[in-house]
Structure 1
Amino acid sequence: MHDGLSHLTPAAAILLTESDERRIRAIRSRRWILYPRAKQALDRLGTLLDQPRGTRMPSIAIYGDSGMGKTMIMKRFRDDNPPSFDSGRGALTTPVLAMEMTSRPGERRFYAELLTLLGAPQRPRADIAQMEQAALRIMEAIGVKVLVIDEVHNILAGSYREQRIVLNTLRFLSNRLQISLVCFGVNEAREAISGDVQLARRFEQFTLSRWAANDQFETLVASILRNTPLHRPSVLTPASMRRILQITEGITANIFHMINDLAIAAIVSGHEQITDEMIEQWQPEFDVEAAFA
């Protein structure tokens, strides 16, 4: 890479040939940036695909506040392990199946959501046993190894009886199909999963804590800046790093939003770099407590 572009990744450097409007559009897009904590989570999820099939398959629960990047990690894991079609056998294989827990979960709603995802919605009068058997048959046929469930804390919206039924359903699917479960949710999701002791014991917990003033946070900011197409490098002082952390309250989504907003301002002004002065003057437009996941 040319020395003048050594502050950027190759993909970001290529964007420098585009118009300001195209660069701004690229900055605003929801783009994947790999940082150590996300890589650690993805590497751990990847090991589930290599597990020999058996009873009591290992599972993983990833917890974190809203805006800590859980959904982005989930989508990346799913996209890294897409369905494949074997034309010789005429068979579709889907190693990772990802769904979202319904807002008021119950056994029927859970299976209805699962069957819709599998492309096999059931007739309105189908009973739960028929829906269950259809889901088992299809999931076994397409070779599901990992069932990913986002927003698992929604289980808590149901009554105690409904919560137990849904948890029993998850344990049943894992046992019958010999698949691993991956659950994503806010920190309260621990309470949801702990409602079934046998199920909870299978879960390794991985927590996405809010960022603190340490090397990991500096690596995150550096990764974002290296993927941000500005002509000049942004060299930030420790005071600026502390201000970023203070304003965003350590929420990943807010950190991305702040740096992206500053980068766009740098393009519009023609400065082509984020400066300490810009960080000092920047005012947040987001509500920290309403950060997106």
Structure 2
Amino acid sequence: MARQDLAGFLRDRREKLRPADVGLHADTRRRTPGLRREEVADLAHMSVDYYARLEQARGPRPSPRILDALTGALRLTPAERTHLFQLAGTSPTPPAGPVRQVRPHVADLLRRIPDTAAIVTDATYGVIAGNPLAYALLGDLGAKPNLARQRFLGRPYESSSSEEFAHIVVSRLRRAVDRYPRDKTLARLLAELRAGSEEFVHIWDTNPVHDPGHRVKSITHPQVGRLRLNCDVLAIPNDDQQVVFITADPGTPAARALRHLLPAG
């Protein structure tokens, strides 16, 4: 029964995914919706025969490595990943690392709010998506943008909430370490922050507990000067990500400044 439950879960998840969900080109000749078995096998770096046997309840019990590969290929949420491990009769291992891809519907949301600066950050404060106004407002975040790196090692804009944000960053990174102890990218980021920022080390040692929420902050932008802005965070629990919305009160100088920063076209 366990093998059949696992097979049914894999088949159901595969058939619900669209090619665009996993970065594949949609083939107009497809007779049925969903991904093909060979596509899932390729995404999971395993043979088509092995994956087919799993879906047919004929394969051996998959190892944690195989289950993690299927988690990525089928774009499973953390809850679905735990369920997959349970169906396989295996205790869930810590995820290899945080989700660093933004889902298409979230990326589309950013495009629908051109008058609001918005970015998406992963569990390590890496910026994985943003709209043009956000990049115009926040400036150059580097080739691999990360707000933690910018706050402690870069030259962020002068902000009234800089000290508070430092504690929020450290609190989130501490949670990320607990969730993703095997993530090498996170380990490198923490080593970089410890080596380059005494402030980071001090805050880390205090073990702060902070959650983002609605905040009003003032920043000094090099082009448009001092801005009073609202900052609101929408959590995406399934991917351990956050969408950060930055707005100005209507009719204020800050609102006019944001319109000035909005890229043409």
TM-score tier after normalising by the smaller chain length: under 0.3
Asked which structure has the greater RCO (Cα within 8 Å, sep 6+), the reply is 1
Q: TM-score, normalised by structure 2?
A: 0.28
Q: TM-score, normalised by structure 1?
A: 0.26
